[in-house]
Structure 1
Amino acid sequence: MRSPSLGESLALLEAGTGSEGASELHRLATVKGPCAVEDFTLVELFFRDAALAFATAIAADILPRPVVIGRGCHERVATTLQTFRWKGGFDIRSPEHPYHAVWSDFAAWCRRHGLEATLEGAQSAKEAMFYVSVRPL
């Protein structure tokens, strides 16, 4: 049995339904205007790129490295996600966070591929940074 072509795989992906939360978040961003759409797209692409980096590393038998948010890495994402407010259990994993739906999509992708999404913080005297990574379920 042959593997599906990239075109066939893409058609299946396009036919599937995305997260209702992320779709609603995109709709709200569209209503708010181009800046909100740009912010949503920035965050969504950050997590898509992270998923791709993790999958590529694992497929190449390389231990994936965490993706860093903050302290000079992905600063626009950090600003958009307001990581400076991530304290006391409130971060993108919290249902109240404005971009929680994007995290939920990323975490669901991880589960479908036998991974658990993790987010860990590190604090310096000057600023915070966060590590997005995966581990086996």
Structure 2
Amino acid sequence: MNEQGLYSITELTHEFGITTRTLRFYEGKNLLNPHREGRKRLYTSRDRARLVLILRGKRLGFSLAEIREIIEMYDLEPGESGQIQRLLECIAKHRSKLVEKREDIDEILSEMARVTAVASQRLDELKK
């Protein structure tokens, strides 16, 4: 960060372990809006905070549309409370999907264990 509270693309990519292509992608989706000084991009503390939210949303499995909606709600009525409410709704939706997937995986693993036991037993019988 420089004396004006701005971050370079290199600083952000190193801090968050992402590529410049990733940052430019988020810019292209209008999720980040850096200032330009010639060819140099300078990101504000607000851009950095938005990047934190974008990356957190991606880790949670949110779509870019959901991330954009949540981020943009901060500046709209009802503001932060609405933003948090929408965040909780998205988390509940994605959690439900993950629980369902986990149940499916557990069922498949159980079936694989049953088939493995039966196949191993049959193989032992054939060897005798």
TM-score between the two structures when normalised by the length of structure 1:
0.28
Tell me which protein shows more strand as a share of its residues: 1
Tell me which protein shows more helix as a share of its residues: 2
Larger radius of gyration: 2
Between 1 and 2, higher relative CO (CA 8 Å, sep ≥ 6) is seen in 1
TM-score between the two structures when normalised by the length of structure 2:
0.30
